[in-house]
Amino acid sequence: MIASATTSHRPRSRWRNRILLAAAGGAGLTAALAAGATTAGAATAAAPAAGTAPGGVYVGNSLVMAYTGTDHTVQVKDLANGVTFNVGGNLTAAPALAPSGSDVLIFGPGTNHQLYFKSCTLAGSCSGWVSLGGSVTSKAGAVFEGPNVADYAVYARGGNGAAWGRTHTTAGWGAWRSEGGNLLAGTGPAAADLNGNYLLVVGTNKQMYLAGPGEGAFTPVGGQTASSPGLAATAAPSGGQAALVAVARGSNGAGFYHRFLSNSPGWHSLGGNWNSGLTVANLAGTTTTTTFGLGTDNNVYAGTQSWATYPPKLFAFVKET
């Protein structure tokens, strides 16, 4: 149970109202990641796999959550209307999500360590799993870049410990490229777009590091964690600046946030008691973010943060599984 969470569910209208990696090998899909379009199933889902951070993203105004189950399949839930569906797969880590128009993109490593992805409508109609190759050792981080619905990127920890990335445009997928760094085993990069892509990673010393467009290197940003962090970009509040916002599970199991502006330095308490890394999603064009993680009861919890003022307004975490 999350220590600071409320176990009495708030009305669902709350959600409705919230406006290395080697060159990609095209080897065939594993049997569990069968190719071909599918209609996702609505059968009873397995519980979240312990320690695997849920993915979260806004698709338009709909807040979407996904987690890897104990059976290694991925369960997706539209928190705006409660619609859930299982998209199959055989993932060895948590899923990463990104929007693409009105669809949600799902990324995760398969049992052969290649990265796989598929696209789903929020009604549960999905493409088949497609291999992006590589040698992935962690949860991935995905980000929509725009302006076209086909413009997005995905990042993961490669076999050499560095972060690697691959970008998709209307021309298709580009090749894997090294982003550098030396990531702690078992952790993956978080990604966000703020006039270019930024990556937040955990180093082998368990400190977090940030790299952005044109910087060429990772810069230490403090904190201590052994779990994958989350990263999002918020719009500028009245009289303020657009900013990157990070969330992470601290060494004591509590959640922490950091807004990367000079007038809001350092890590501060987000609350809760977590059994996984944390993920944060931004409602595009707003100062609203939502953080996801597994509580100590191994259920998914989600809580909203408003960055219209600083410190942010932190809403209670709600159980979603």
CB hemisphere CA count around 79 (13 angstroms) = 31
pLDDT, tens digit, 9 for 90 and up, residues 136-164:
999 999 999 999 999 999 999 999 999 99
pLDDT of residue 41: 54
Q: Show Cβ contacts of residue 12 under 8 Å, excluding neighbours closer than 6 positions.
A: 79, 80, 81, 82
Q: Average pLDDT of the chain?
A: 88
Residue with tokens 């987690």: 67
pLDDT, tens digit, 9 for 90 and up, residues 166-223:
999 999 999 999 999 999 999 999 999 999 999 999 999 999 999 999 666 899 999 9
Q: What mean pLDDT do residues 19-31 have? A: 30
Asked if pLDDT for residue 7 goes beyond 80, the answer is: no
Identify the residue with better confidence: 187 or 27: 187
**Is 1 a member of any domain?**
no
pLDDT of residue 143: 98
Asked if pLDDT for residue 9 goes beyond 90, the answer is: no
How far, in Å, CA of 18 to CA of 123, rounded?
Answer: 19
**Is 252 a member of any domain?**
yes
Number of folded domains that form the chain: 1
What are the strands of the beta sheet with 62-68, ordered from one edge? 55-59, 62-68, 74-78, 84-86
Asked if pLDDT for residue 10 goes beyond 80, the answer is: no
Q: Please give the share of the chain, as a percent, with pLDDT higher than 90.
A: 84
**Is 264 a member of any domain?**
yes
pLDDT of residue 45: 79
pLDDT, tens digit, 9 for 90 and up, residues 244-272:
999 999 999 999 999 999 999 999 999 99
Q: What mean pLDDT do residues 79-84 have? A: 93
pLDDT of residue 40: 56
**Is 277 a member of any domain?**
yes
Whichever domain contains 282, its CATH number is: 2.120.10.70
**Is 4 a member of any domain?**
no
Q: Are 194 and 156 in contact (CB under 8 A)?
A: no
**Is 5 a member of any domain?**
no
How far, in Å, CA of 315 to CA of 254, rounded?
Answer: 16
Helix count (H) and strand count (E) of the chain?
A: 1, 28
**Is 183 a member of any domain?**
yes
**Is 6 a member of any domain?**
no
SS3 of residue 13 by DSSP: helix
pLDDT band at 235 (very low <50, low <70, confident <90, very high): very high
Asked if pLDDT for residue 38 goes beyond 70, the answer is: no
In terms of residue numbers, what domain contains 170?
13-26+35-319
Residue type, 5: A
pLDDT, tens digit, 9 for 90 and up, residues 290-303:
999 999 999 999 99
SS3 of residue 108 by DSSP: strand
